[in-house]
Structure 1
Amino acid sequence: MKPTTLCLIINDKNEILLGRKKRGFGVGKYNGFGGKKQENETFRQCAVREIFEEVSLVVQPEDLIPVAIMNFQFPYEEELNHLNYTYIVKNYEGLPLESEEMEPRWFAFDDIPFETMWKGDDMWIPEVLKGKLLHTLLVFGKDNDEVKLAENTYVDTIEEFETTAEIAACLRKG
């Protein structure tokens, strides 16, 4: 299981910044910003690095608000499986800039382009935007796109761990 991060950046107009993926897995889809955790960094450090690499915004690790632990399962291509910390970011410096990987765009909360995002995003993003904290399971079908199973478990806090084994154990105990 790959450890990853995903960040939903929110401005003071209650708009969400999403990026259209320009290359690699998920090309053409709008998504938050994030990626694979490197061995020498924490999840928060990963999120800060990925935001800067993908959209040129500067974020401090303490300004990341953990809102979900996501378990993305791809049973037909298990190397794509990943456990993810999802954060909301409201405090950042700079202006969003396009990168080689992402083309950023602001959306009003009621105009999020779920039809051009990962299937299943519509079942958890509105919840975290309302302030809910989640453990979410998404199991994808043979095409790595269709969602075969989607479950949100509402929690009171998001515990932060450093290894996927610790995260998996937390998710198993509910």
Structure 2
Amino acid sequence: MRPTTLCFPVRPDGKLLLGRKKRGFGVSKWNGFGGKIEAGENFLQCAVRELREETGLIAKEEDLELVGFLDFHFSASSELDHIGFVYFLRQWQGTVQETEEMEPQWFDPAALPYDEMWKGDRTWIPMLLKKEKVKGIITFAEDNENLQHLELYRIDNV
């Protein structure tokens, strides 16, 4: 089970920064920013590094707001299974830039491109946007696309 992070920058007007994956796992899907923890890193350090690598934005660990913990399972490809801490970020430095891996774009929360995102996102992301914290297990079907099982809980603390 790979440990990962997922970070969503949120502007004061409530718009969410998503990135369209340009290569690798999840190509063409809109998602938050993150990835696998590297040797010697903790979750916060990973989230800061991945955000910088994928958007050019510079974050401070103390500005990351822990909003969720998700356990992703892929029925046909267990090597893709991963756990992830989910963060919102409301303060950063720098300007959003497209990178080799991601094409970033700001979205109004009412107009997120759910049809071009991972299945399940349309359930747990709205919970986070309502200031709920979430913990859960998301299991994808044999096609690694559709949902086989979704188990989400609202929690007070992650």
Distance 1:98 1:52 in 2: 11
Q: How many residues align?
A: 158
Q: Secondary structure at the match of 1:103?
A: strand
Query: How do 1:135-146 residues align onto structure 2 when only pairs under 5 Å count?
Result: 135-146=135-146
Query: How do 1:1-174 residues align onto structure 2 when only pairs under 5 Å count?
Result: 1-158=1-158
Distance 1:95 1:111 in 2: 23
Distance 1:51 1:35 in 2: 9
Q: Which runs of 5+ in 2 are unaligned?
A: none
Deviations 1:64-112 (A, max 9, x none): 0000000000121110000000000001111110000000000001010
**What TM-score comes out, normalization by structure 1 length?**
0.90
Distance 1:34 1:155 in 2: 22
Distance 2:77 2:149 in 1: 16
Q: Secondary structure at the match of 1:40?
A: coil
Q: Which runs of 5+ in 1 are unaligned?
A: 159-174
Distance 2:95 2:125 in 1: 23
Between structures 1 and 2, the one with greater strand share = 2
Root-mean-square deviation over aligned CA pairs: 0.6
**What TM-score comes out, normalization by structure 2 length?**
0.99
Distance 2:136 2:99 in 1: 29
| Letter matched to residue 65 of structure 1 | E
| Letter matched to residue 94 of structure 1 | G
